[in-house]
């Protein structure tokens, strides 16, 4: 296999090369590239390799921009430190990813997958479509504070100080660590888009919570979960049954 490594950390690039040589004795590393610009130039002037090992964050930007500037005909294995939740879209036939630090067995499995399933035109189209979605996810800046009107005054509340949001009679409130309940001019749906999904989870129609808000989790009827939230007097906070599985995965980070 002819392999191209696109990685801006020299130590990580050298380790990838070493692992490749250990795993595939007949493989050849064509080049080690550390930027989007150099990668685009390489793809425009060289035949496609059998596989590309590509970091997501490079010296001059996100590697997805390579695909916007040139045609990448090779299957791609991404190496990244990003959380797994943000990368599930890459699990198609010619695309894979490995979380850093790269594990030898995981790399071996990914290389075998590439050999077993050569990329098709459909895979490439799907890759480009999902690249656009992932650029938005990985470059999005989430809200860090809210400006809230309290009487005749405007106050700023840091998101880190908020334990949960809840909706009541078409009004949205945020609860803070110091047990304040403040009114916000946003719906829960809008807040879901503004907030980092690793920090807040929508458990039902009325509640959007952070892990720091949870005082107790109790098994409930019909495979549901009942929560006791710090600073809340609501005795009926239930994780919707269809969200229980994702809720457990969200907590188990």
Q: What is the C-alpha to C-alpha distance for residues 178 and 203, in angstroms, rounded to an integer?
A: 22
Residue 100: which pLDDT band, with cuts at 50, 70 and 90?
confident
pLDDT in tens, 4-37: 999 999 999 999 999 988 888 788 899 999 999 9
- Name the nearest CA neighbour of 123 among 62, 51, 75: 75
59 burial (CB, 10 Å; 0-12 / 13-18 / 19+) is middle
pLDDT score at 124? 58
Quote the CA–CA distance of 209 and 203 in Å, as a whole number: 7
Task: Locate the domains of the chain by residue range.
Answer: 2-139, 145-251
Helix runs in the chain, H state only: 10-23, 36-45, 65-69, 104-116, 121-139, 188-194, 244-251
Helix (H) or strand (E) holding 208: strand 207-209
pLDDT > 70 in the chain, percent: 83
Q: Is the confidence at residue 63, as pLDDT, over 80?
A: yes
pLDDT at 222 over 70: yes
CATH class of 145-251: mainly beta
* pLDDT tens digits, 113-134: 777 766 565 555 665 566 555 6
Same CATH fold assignment for domains 2-139 and 145-251? no
Residue 92 pLDDT greater than 50, yes or no? no
Residue 172 pLDDT > 50, yes or no? Answer: yes
More confident residue, 243 or 63: 243
Structure tokens belonging to residue 70: 């040139």
Work out the average pLDDT over 226-246: 94
Please tell me the total number of residues recorded for the chain in this structure.
Answer: 253
- pLDDT attached to residue 89: 42
CATH class of 2-139: alpha beta
What local confidence, expressed as pLDDT, does residue 91 receive?
A: 46
pLDDT of residue 10: 92
Tokens 């190496």 correspond to 79
Of 73-82, 88-97, 168-177, minimum mean pLDDT range? 88-97
Tokens 């916000």 sit on residue: 184
Q: What is the pLDDT of residue 78?
A: 82
Tell me the sheet residues that pair with 32: 5
Residue 84 has pLDDT above 60, yes or no: no
Task: Please spell the DSSP secondary structure of 76-89, one letter per residue.
Answer: EEEEE-S-GGGGGG
Residue linked to tokens 């989790």? 217
63, 124, 156, 179, 197 from 140: Cα distances, Å: 15, 24, 22, 30, 12
Report the alpha-carbon distance of residue 3 to residue 26 in Å, rounded. Answer: 11
- CA 221 and chain centroid, separation: 32
């Amino acid at each position: 296999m002819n392999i191209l490594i696109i990685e801006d950390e020299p130590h990580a690039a050298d380790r990838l090369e070493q692992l490749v040589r250990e795993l595939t004795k007949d493989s050849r590393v064509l080049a080690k590239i550390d930027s989007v610009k150099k990668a685009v130039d390489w793809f425009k002037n060289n035949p496609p390799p059998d596989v590309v090992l590509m970091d997501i964050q490079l010296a001059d930007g996100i590697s997805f921009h390579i695909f916007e500037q040139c045609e990448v005909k090779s299957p791609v294995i991404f190496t990244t430190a990003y959380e797994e939740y943000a990368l599930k879209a890459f699990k198609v036939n010619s695309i894979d990813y490995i979380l850093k630090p790269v594990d030898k067995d995981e790399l071996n499995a990914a290389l075998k997958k590439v050999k077993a399933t050569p990329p098709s035109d459909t895979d490439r189209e799907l890759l480009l479509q999902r690249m656009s979605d992932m650029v938005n996810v990985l470059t999005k800046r989430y809200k860090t504070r809210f400006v809230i009107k309290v009487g005749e005054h405007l106050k700023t509340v840091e998101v880190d100080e908020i334990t949960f949001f809840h909706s009541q009679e078409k009004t949205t409130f945020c609860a803070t660590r110091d047990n304040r309940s403040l009114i916000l001019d946003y719906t829960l749906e809008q807040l879901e888009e503004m907030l980092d999904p690793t920090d807040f989870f929508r458990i039902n129609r009325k509640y959007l919570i952070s892990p720091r808000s949870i005082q107790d989790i109790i098994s409930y009827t019909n495979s549901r979960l009942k929560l006791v939230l710090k600073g809340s007097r609501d005795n009926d906070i239930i994780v919707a049954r269809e969200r229980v599985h994702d809720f457990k995965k969200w907590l188990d980070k």
